[in-house]
Amino acid sequence: MGAGDMKTSVLIAAPVALGLAGAGAWLALRDAPRPARDPTMPVMPATVDIAQGETLYARSCAACHGADLEGQQDWRTPDADGRLPAPPHDETGHTWHHPDRVLFQYTKLGGREALALQGVEFDSGMPAFGDVLTDREIWTILAYIQSTWPERAGAVQAERTAADLAKEGN
């Protein structure tokens, strides 16, 4: 075999070998078990009781976030400890700017831990409610809050939730 024949053989064999290796990897991975979903990223149940959410909100959230979801006064200004007061959950706040996953994690894990999952270090005053409320109760409260938003805020938040779920592959 001459040098030219050897070069031609390598030029043909290399792409064929790479293609076969890629196909083999694809076949091996396509049926591989997927990792279990992170339990801190569940999806809102299809049905929730909004009235129950309002009751749970009054019991668990209103002391800080206000009976009418209005938040604390000067919620954008840090207090003496550097923490921000509880924000409103109505359309004047930023709750509707976040996808469901973030809202759920923030409520279940507390602000500091939820932000740490996003790579953000911040001393949030939001306590964790994961030991106080069930996942379903958290979702019920979030559904109640969402039910109070104007249509446009709800639509924006729903779009952000859909994009977040698509990004996470859910």
Residue 61's pLDDT band (cuts 50, 70, 90): very high
- pTM beyond cutoff 0.85: no
Contacts of 69 (CB under 8 A, 6+ apart): 57, 88, 89, 90, 93, 145, 148
Within 10 angstroms of residue 146's Cβ, the number of other Cβ atoms is: 22
Residues 5-23: what's their mean pLDDT? 48
Per-residue pLDDT, 8: 54
| Count of Cβ atoms closer than 10 Å to residue 160 Cβ | 17
Q: Torsion over CA of 58, 83, 121 and 143, rounded to 10 degrees?
A: 20
Q: What is the pLDDT of residues 140-159, one digit of tens each?
A: 999 999 999 999 999 999 99
> What contacts 162, CB < 8 A, 6 or more positions away?
none
Per-residue pLDDT tens over the stretch 115-136: 999 899 988 899 999 999 999 9
Residue 63 tokens read as: 């002391």
Q: Which residues of 99-134 are buried (b: 16+ CB within 10 A; e: fewer)?
A: bbbbbbbbbbbbbbbbbeeeeeeeebbbebbbeebe
For residue 167, what pLDDT is reported?
87
